[in-house]
A and B are shown apart, each in its own frame.
Chain A
């Protein structure tokens, strides 16, 4: 590893993405699920900016800025939904939201 190339950044992004996927699939607490989704969004941001940097094209950063803004909107609405579910069922375990099952 004599120089940091784009492969390093892409590998890092892939690792963090799969950690996020592991979080989504294994945890049952809705808030930690949400945070794993944020991990995945961040890893894709990192890949976007790495590509933009190595190709000297600033548009990748603009795309990443939009991703951050959309993630902010999504977190707001998602947490409002979680709080509403909590108010009605007193639990945020995602296994408890199963009324439409079967």
Chain B
């Protein structure tokens, strides 16, 4: 049963990842990436990390991808011009390099001495719940938690500073002219 679920979820993840990098329309890529995140969240549930699966859907699929979609829809991309200068040689070199990366991974996995430690699936039912994670997060790992909070705060300040625009209005010959320019 778990085997079937693993096969289906991993096929969904790999297929959607391939679709993400190959679609011409960026909105289609974004939607395939959302689908991929659902597959990955399913794999997290298979591993027993329920809380993290829910957090993955809320944060990644529900917030970050919505931000991507906003940017794609607002930018109103001219799809024809974007990929015209992509040459076949460039793309094939990219594919070869990624194949080499995969070969490198396979080699490094094959030549590692795997201990018995790595083969027992977790049996504790409480391993992935919010209670267990919360008790660790607020005791041992409190300082990294707070630093991540400060990091997110800094990111918000950065985004607002980048996107701030100064709007000046002047009246010329009875016509109101509004000018927007970036402050940054």
Contacts and interface: CB of A to CB of B under 8 A. Distances in A.
A/B: CB atoms within 8 Å of each other: yes
Nearest to B56: A68
Interface of B: 2-3, 6, 10, 13-14, 17-18, 20-21, 26, 29-30, 33, 36-37, 40, 43-44, 46-49, 51-52, 55-56, 59-60, 63-64, 67-68, 71-72, 74-75, 77, 81-83, 85-86, 90-91, 93-95, 97-99, 101-102, 105-106, 109, 114, 117-124, 127-128, 132-133, 136-137, 141, 144-145, 148, 151-152, 154-156, 158-159, 162-163, 182, 184
Given A22-B94, A26-B91, A62-B137, A73 B151 contact: yes
Nearest to A64: B52
Contacts, number: 229
A72 B48 contact: no
Interface of A: 1, 3-12, 14-29, 31-32, 34-36, 38-39, 42, 45-46, 49-56, 58-59, 61-62, 64-66, 68-77, 79-84, 86-87, 91-93, 95
A7 B121 CA distance: 12
A25 B85 contact: no
B118 A6 contact: yes
B127 A42 contact: no
Given A21-B97, A25-B93, A76-B159, A9 B21 contact: no
A8 B6 contact: yes
Contacts of A9: 43, 47
A66 B33 contact: no
Contacts of A58: 127-128, 132-133, 136
Nearest to B92: A26
Contact of A70 (B21, B29, B148): B148
Contact of A26 (B94, B120, B162): B94
Given A21-B98, A23-B21, A53-B48, A62 B71 contact: no
B20 A39 contact: yes
